[in-house]
Amino acid sequence: MHVPGVFTPSEIAEQLNLGADVVKIFPDNEVSMDYSRKVCELMGDLPLMAVGGISAKNVKEAFLSGYRYVGTAGGLFKKNDIIHMNKENLIKSLKNFEQELN
């Protein structure tokens, strides 16, 4: 699967024309969640992925605003929970994220 990072509408069009399966808007937290809706209004339904700043607090909003996919890392787990391998908190964070998707 080819998923290049893009930011502007012209980069989106270029990468889709080159055969990208999905284009990831990165860093997504530099634009409003409405960015995907505005781009899709201009360019049609697109396979967009939001990456950067995605967390349990905004994942539902990302999907509602037109993103088909999300990518998250730092927004999913707390750094100290990873460093200290706090399994209980890691599972809790994952379940919280999953709950927001329902």
Predicted TM-score of the model (pTM)? 0.84
57 falls within a domain: yes
Split at pLDDT 50, 70, 90, the class of 68 is very high
58 falls within a domain: yes
pLDDT digits 0-9 by tens, 13-34:
999 999 999 999 987 778 888 8
CA 65 from chain center: how many Å? 11
Residue 13 confidence (pLDDT): 97
52 falls within a domain: yes
Q: What are phi and psi of 71, to 5 degrees?
A: -130, 135
Token pair in block for residue 6: 């893009």
Instruction: Identify each DSSP E strand in 14-85 by its residue range.
Output: 23-25, 48-51, 69-71
| Direct distance between the N- and C-terminal alpha carbons of the chain, in angstroms, rounded to an integer | 26
87 falls within a domain: no
d(CA 34, CA 24): 15
pLDDT digits 0-9 by tens, 73-93:
788 999 999 999 999 999 999
**Number of domains forming the structure of the chain:** 1
80 falls within a domain: no
Structural domain that includes position 30: 5-75
Residue 27 confidence (pLDDT): 74
State yes or no: pLDDT of 97 exceeds 80.
yes
82 falls within a domain: no
Q: In CATH, what number is assigned to the domain containing residue 64?
A: 3.20.20.70
95 falls within a domain: no
